[in-house]
Amino acid sequence: GNTYHLAVRPTTELLEDAGGLHKFMNWGGNLLTDSGGFQMVSLLKLAEITEEGVTFQSPRDDGTVCILRPEDSIAHQNRIGSDIIMALDDVVSSVSPDRARFEEATDRTVRWLDRCFSAHSRPNEQSLFAIVQGGLDCLPGGLREACLSAFHARDEKIPGYAIGGLAGGESKDAFWRVVAKCCASLPDDKPRYLMGVGYPLDLVVCTALGVDMYDCVYPTRTARFGVALLDVGALRVKGRECADDAAPLDAECACVACTKYTRGEIHVLLKEGAALGIQILTMHNVAYMMRLVKRMREAVMERRYVEFVRGFLERMFPKGDKEVPIWVREALHSVGIEILS
């Protein structure tokens, strides 16, 4: 759940009155809420950031103003009742050239974390994760290291960690190096959550680097563009090549889309602009990502993740290791996984 948007509408007070977000959406599983910090990037033109917190102008142009302080973010998430809640962090676009702003944001993220812990009223029911910031600076003594060091000093309070500030347009080379830097420094016995990631290939590589949890809009957003996710890569179902294809989206998938519809049938729905076509692809893409994560988890637990990675890359890049992107090869090499020809 997105704390900022839930606070604006329907309001977290309403959710609390309804018994929390679990009951409101009739969901018995775990829930995670973002702190609202990402809106500092996505709604930057509407936001003013100070030490006190963030002031947002409503994106709906109705003149209303929302103030989000660390204490407000935690209060909202306490009312929402999610199982994992996030500290409010000061987020800067990963491609910003403003070094001073990154330094300010990294230090402020640590100070805001302390305020979040002080404000947290349900620590026995909700796990409050800290978010590592610091831009793309992975150098010894750099900003990521400084943030990690500050969190190490607070480790007894922190049940889990997130890696933030990525998936914002940075190069893949910079991306994986930040992930590797953070994973190498974070405790082995606590969850590591990579925020805003990502593509299936990203998940496979970053799990090898040490990440445990992910979130991303990609599976649902790409479905709205008529694209299905497969191990061999993205399939443009809206494209002409699927028009007469009687095969399922994925013969190995047991979701409703793959067992009830053909590629050709979904193609027609998408071309006609029928909402059902997008809904079908959305169900498949979510099912695919859940199945991918399940397969990765089983491979890790059975100590065969290296073989899983190699098999996944062979399906996605059937022409051999030379087709595998350099960043993938370098990232995997850093943890001792070599790509076989």
Which residues form the catalytic set? Answer: 34, 215
Distance of CA 283 to the CA centre of its chain: 18
Alpha-carbon gap, residue 333 to 289, rounded angstroms: 25
Alpha-carbon gap, residue 114 to 307, rounded angstroms: 42
**Alpha-helix residue ranges (DSSP H) falling in the chain:** 3-8, 12-17, 21-24, 39-42, 70-80, 99-119, 143-152, 172-185, 200-209, 218-224, 256-260, 263-271, 275-301, 305-316, 326-334
Rg (CA), the chain: 21
Contact present, 178 and 210 (Cβ < 8 Å): no
DSSP three-state, residue 234: strand
DSSP three-state, residue 85: strand
Alpha-carbon gap, residue 226 to 213, rounded angstroms: 26
Alpha-carbon gap, residue 200 to 320, rounded angstroms: 19
Burial of residue 57 (CB within 10 Å: 0-12, 13-18, 19+) is: middle
Q: Which residues contact 319 (CB under 8 A, 6 or more apart)?
A: none
Alpha-carbon gap, residue 166 to 117, rounded angstroms: 24
Take residue 28 and report the two structure tokens written for it. Answer: 């018995």
**Position 337: which residue type?**
I
Label residues 62-81 b or e (16+ Cβ within 10 Å = b).
eeeebebbbbbbbbbbbbbb
Contact present, 56 and 73 (Cβ < 8 Å): no
